[in-house]
A and B are shown apart, each in its own frame.
Chain A
Amino acid sequence: MELLNVDSITMKFGGLTAVNNFKLKINPGELIGLIGPNGAGKTTVFNMITGIYTPTINKIYFQDNDITGMKPDKIAREGIARTFQNMRLMDNLTVLDNVMIGFHLHLKSTLTSAIFKFPGYVREEEDIYSRSMELLGKVELEKCKMEKAGSLPYGQQRKLEIARALATGPKLLLLDEPAAGMNPQETRRLMDFIQKIQDEFSLTIFLIEHDMKVVMGICKRILVMDYGITIAEGNPKEIQNNPEVIKAYLGVDANYA
């Protein structure tokens, strides 16, 4: 059974077609990359999958459920998590709080038991705390747990965003340009990290990236978009040699070793 089935969706904003007939099937355990020049519509695809936009035409299925047009919080509950291209952390909250929020959607305690601190709630809260610390450990941020998220250096903020996404317990993780702004060393660590969490949390990962090292290095399958249309799909070698892809990227520094 495929995990995600994006069935030829199109996104129109008034007269502008941002995404045209985007098709994709992802199987559990895959690591798929989506590349393309800026403005190609990649983030729009992410936004449709996560419920921020509703596709103008056609549908999206997750684990055989129709999730088209579902609200983002419901989609998160279904098991899809994401990070943002321009990072959306809760800047004024602590690092720890940012991760703990990720566990809120699975909270079983009622509002009343939370306000009055019934034992059932207290247990859940302690559980959330320890699991959050665990996640922070994985991204090496336990020491700054009480710092404001907004005060963290850029690279650490990115890791925090991923930790927060992991807290929701997703089956499918969407990463929007996770390596943006990272130096080569950090990028290599990120690549290892992504593969590590994929194993550890049994994730299926779908990522958007501009850094070809990352994409060619860890993605088994890659889609290329330009002007809203998928112009190529295949494994890294096929994509590297595809004339359409090279044409779309002409002038962009695409150095992949």
Chain B
Amino acid sequence: MKKQNTKIFTIFALIVLGILVYLAENHLDAYKLRILNLSAIYITLGVSLNLIYGFTGQFSLGHAGFMAIGAYVTALLVLPPYYKEMIFILEPLAWPFTVMHTPFIVALFFSGLFAAIAALLIGLPVLRLKGDYLGIATLGFAEIIRVIANNIPRITNGALGIKGIPEFTNLWWTAGVAIFTIYIIKGLINSSYGRALMAIRENEIAAEVIGVNLTYHKVMSFTISAFFAGVAGGLFACLLTTIDPKAFMFLMTFNILIVVVLGGFGSITGTVIAAFLFNFFLEYLRPIEAGFNIGPIVVPGIPGLRMVTFAALLLIVILYKQKGLLGGIEFTWEGLFQFVNKLFSKNKSSEGSAT
């Protein structure tokens, strides 16, 4: 398929998406919008985690920590100064946060930037470690970030967290950031640098001998991944309107991990689909935990059942379908047309062979 045609189809698809977002924003209720928004944020989180896991092969468990940094940065920048003075009741907010007040997009940018800087500082020493050790080290850093957030009331308001964040996040933002994330990361993967990252995943020693600078590439991948995690954190803050350190415990990273595993390592398409499935099921299974009524019968809720189900799903996928529920396929326009063609030609040949 010619490059021109792919570009046209993509632009067409984006326009369609834009129309859908417009319709959704103006006609759906808040509940459904919240699920869509969360799904889109999880796309950003999942794709960015996939960059460091699925493509570069580095087992980082610290995503929640970068989210936390992003969330706090956005919250502090987006709230007006007088409001911040009000809610910081444990200790007064430190300067310069007292005077800073920026538009949403600037805040999101700084969220990503600060998360990226943290990733740079953490990644340089830590990315030398392999496999489990890297996982535990990054988990450790995420926990350290969380503990710090809990203990510096001058900046984060400690355990109280920050409430009343303006609800700037809407489907335009979340979908827009998700598209941007996919665009950048796909651009990276489909380039010589992307090949270098995958080479590192496949065989680190060989990659180094081939001339791939391990430190540079690993840190680059880690930093970019963290940038988007930070932005997602900012979107999160302005969606839920309240954040506190407890929201960024390991459970958050585990949720993102579920999305990446179910969608398949190294498959952006899979991550997108899994992000939606995860959030939809999480919401629609809520009645099972809260209890519901069938006519006169009251079915009591079983709390914790959703996560048990997802954990079990994760185990099933990792044990039997390691490439993810979809087998690691990636969406391309060509692939779509071939698929559609196959469907139609099957029909044709079955008619013809009846003679």
Residues 120-153 of B, flagged 1 when their CB comes within 8 A of A and 0 if not, give: 0000000000000000000000000000000000
Q: B189's closest neighbor in chain A, by CB?
A: A115
Asked if A190 lies at the interface with its beta carbon under 8 angstroms from chain B, I say: no
CB distance from A101 to the nearest CB of B (A): 5
A5 interface contact, C-beta 8 A = no
| Minimum CB distance partner of A105 in chain B | B211
**B208 A73 Cβ-Cβ under 8 A:** yes
Chain A residues with CB under 8 A of B196: 101, 104
Residue from the set B206, B208, B220 with the largest chain A CB neighbour count within 10 Å: B206
Given contacts A105-B211, A115-B184, A168-B210, contact A121 B191 (CB under 8 A): yes
Asked whether any CB of chain B lies closer than 8 Å to the CB of A68, the reply is no
B193 to A, closest residue via Cβ: A114
Chain B residues with Cβ below 8 Å from A107 are 192
Contact with A along B166-200 (1 / 0, CB 8 A): 00000000000000000010011001110110110
Q: What residues of chain A lie closer than 8 Å to B188, measured between beta carbons?
A: 111, 114-115
**What is the chain B residue whose CB lies nearest that of A170?**
B211
Which of B187, B193, B209 contacts A50 (CB under 8 A)? B209
Nearest Cβ distance between residue A108 and chain B, in whole angstroms? 11
In contact, B191 and A115 (Cβ under 8 angstroms)? yes
The smallest C-beta distance from A60 to any residue of chain B, in angstroms, reads 15
Q: Is A93 an interface residue (CB 8 A)?
A: yes
Q: How many chain A residues touch the partner (CB < 8 A)?
A: 39
Cβ of A27 < 8 Å from any Cβ of B? Answer: no
Task: A165 to B211: give the CA distance in the assembly, Å.
Answer: 10
Q: Which residues of A contact B202 (CB under 8 A)?
A: 89-93
With A93-B202, A128-B192 known as contacts, the answer to whether A82 contacts B209 (CB < 8 A) is: yes
Asked if B199 and A93 sit within 8 Å, CB to CB, the answer is: yes
CB distance from B150 to the nearest CB of A (A): 36
B264 nearest CB across to chain A (Å):
13
Q: Does B203 contact A (CB under 8 A)?
A: yes
Contact across chains for B187 and A115 when beta carbons are under 8 A apart: yes
Contact of A116 among B187, B198, B209, B214 (CB under 8 A): B187
Does B299 count as interface, using CB distance less than 8 angstroms? Answer: no
Q: A72, A101, A124: which contacts B195 (Cβ < 8 A)?
A: A101
> How far, in whole Å, are A124 and B195 apart by their CA atoms in the complex?
14
**B212 CB–A CB distance under 8 Å:** yes
Size of the chain B interface, CB-CB below 8 angstroms? 23
Q: Which residues of A contact B220 (CB under 8 A)?
A: 111
- B10 on the interface (CB 8 Å rule)? no
Return A36 CB to nearest CB of chain B, in Å: 22
A103 at the interface (CB under 8 A from B): yes
Provide the bound-state CA to CA distance between A91 and B201, in Å.
10
- With both chains docked as a complex, state the minimum distance between the C-beta of B221 and any C-beta of chain A, in angstroms: 11
B130 to chain A, nearest CB (A): 15
Please give, as numbers and ranges, the residues of chain A lying within 8 Å of B211 by CB-CB distance.
Answer: 73, 76-77, 102, 104-106, 168
A164 touches B210 (CB 8 A): yes
Task: Looking at the assembled complex, report how far the CB atom of A56 sits from the nearest CB atom of chain B, in whole angstroms.
Answer: 20
Number of A-B contacts (CB under 8 A): 98
Q: Is the interface of B mostly helix, strand, loop or mixed?
A: helix
A111 with B210: CB separation less than 8 A: no
Distance in angstroms between the alpha carbons of A195 and B305 in the assembled complex: 67
Known: A90-B198, A101-B196. A125 touches B210 (CB 8 A): no
Q: Which residue of B lies closest to A90 (CB)?
A: B202
Q: Does B207 contact A (CB under 8 A)?
A: yes
Contacts of B199 in A (CB 8 A): 90, 93, 101, 104
> Is A232 at the interface (CB under 8 A from chain B)?
no
Residue of A nearest to B328 (CB): A92
Verify B209–A52 contact, CB threshold 8 A. yes
CB of A237 within 8 A of chain B?
no
Contact residues in A for B187 (Cβ distance below 8 Å): 114-117
Q: How far is the CA of A220 from the CA of B210 in the complex (A)?
A: 27
Which B residues lie within 8 Å of A97 (CB)?
Answer: 195, 198
A189 interface hit (Cβ, 8 Å):
no
* B198 touching A88, Cβ below 8 Å: no
Are B208 and A93 touching (Cβ within 8 A)? Answer: no
Q: Could you tell me the distance in whole angstroms from the C-beta of A63 to the nearest C-beta in chain B? A: 17
Closest A residue to B200 by CB, please name it: A90
Minimum distance in angstroms from A103 CB to a CB of chain B? 7
**Does B205 have its Cβ within 8 Å of any Cβ on chain A?**
yes
**Residue A34, interface by CB 8 Å:** no
A227 within 8 A of B: no
Q: How far, in Å, is B42 (CB) from chain A's closest CB?
A: 23
Residue of A nearest to B214 (CB): A73
Q: Which residue of A lies closest to B204 (CB)?
A: A88
Interfacial chain B residues near A81, Cβ < 8 Å: 209-210
Query: How many Å from the CB of A174 to the closest CB on chain B?
Result: 10
Give me the interface of A with B, judged by CB distance under 8 Å.
50-52, 71-73, 76-77, 81-82, 84, 88-93, 97, 100-107, 109, 111, 114-117, 121, 124-125, 128, 164-165, 168
Cross-chain pairs A/B with CB under 8 angstroms, 19 sampled: A51-B209, A52-B205, A73-B208, A73-B212, A73-B213, A76-B209, A77-B211, A88-B203, A88-B206, A88-B209, A92-B202, A101-B195, A101-B210, A104-B192, A104-B193, A105-B210, A114-B188, A115-B191, A168-B211
* Nearest 10 A/B pairs, CB to CB: A105-B211, A76-B211, A88-B206, A90-B202, A115-B187, A114-B191, A72-B208, A72-B209, A88-B203, A73-B213
With A72-B209, A91-B202 given, name 18 new contacts (CB 8 A).
A51-B209, A71-B213, A73-B213, A77-B211, A81-B210, A88-B209, A90-B198, A90-B202, A101-B195, A101-B196, A104-B211, A106-B211, A107-B192, A115-B187, A124-B192, A125-B191, A165-B210, A168-B210
